[in-house]
Amino acid sequence: MPFTVAILTLSDLSSRGQREDVSGPTIRDLVQQGGGQVLRSLVLPDERAEIARTLAAWADEGVIDVIITTGGTGLSPRDVTPEATKEVIEREVPGIAEAIRVESLKKTPMAMFSRAIAGIRKQTLIVNLPGSPRAVQECLEVLLPVLPHAVETLRASVQEHPRG
């Protein structure tokens, strides 16, 4: 089943044009290979309010099935992506972040420093990924096979439980 995706890269350096965003295009390529259609892509600085505002706006449009963020999930004081995501999600989906960390730990012990989360706002799934292109690829190997089912479930919930 095709699904729609938005990619949000969080990086102070990339947002200022001081470093090329490699993770965003990596996500785009892998999502398209996995049957998804990328509708939006944006690079923002590590600013919590701006991240939260963008996530909420994209989810509230009702067009995007999955928002994938990259960057800002580590231990640095500027890494605020999980906090911004928590501000906007209505329900957390901890199994996604847990599964990604379990698989990532098989490749590097540094995966234990990931604070990434996943959750739902309206009918949009939001998933935080790390900022490195290699980590993004490894995480998407875990995530992409289950995305069609997640999207199908979220879409069905709209039909089964209309909001009034």
For 89-101, the pLDDT digits (tens) are 999 999 999 999 9
| Residue-level pLDDT at 163 | 47
Count of structural domains, the chain = 1
Work out the pLDDT band at 1, boundaries 50, 70, 90.
Answer: low
| Residue-level pLDDT at 116 | 98
pLDDT in tens, 105-142: 999 999 999 999 999 999 999 999 999 999 999 999 99
Domain holding 80: CATH number? 3.40.980.10
Q: Residue 123: how many CB atoms within 10 A of its CB?
A: 16
Is residue 151 within 8 Å of residue 66, measured between CB atoms? Answer: yes
pLDDT in tens, 17-64: 999 999 999 999 999 999 999 999 999 999 999 999 999 999 999 999
Strands (DSSP E) contained in 71-132 are: 91-92, 118-121, 124-129
Tell me which residue range forms the domain holding 39.
3-160
Work out the pLDDT band at 2, boundaries 50, 70, 90.
Answer: confident
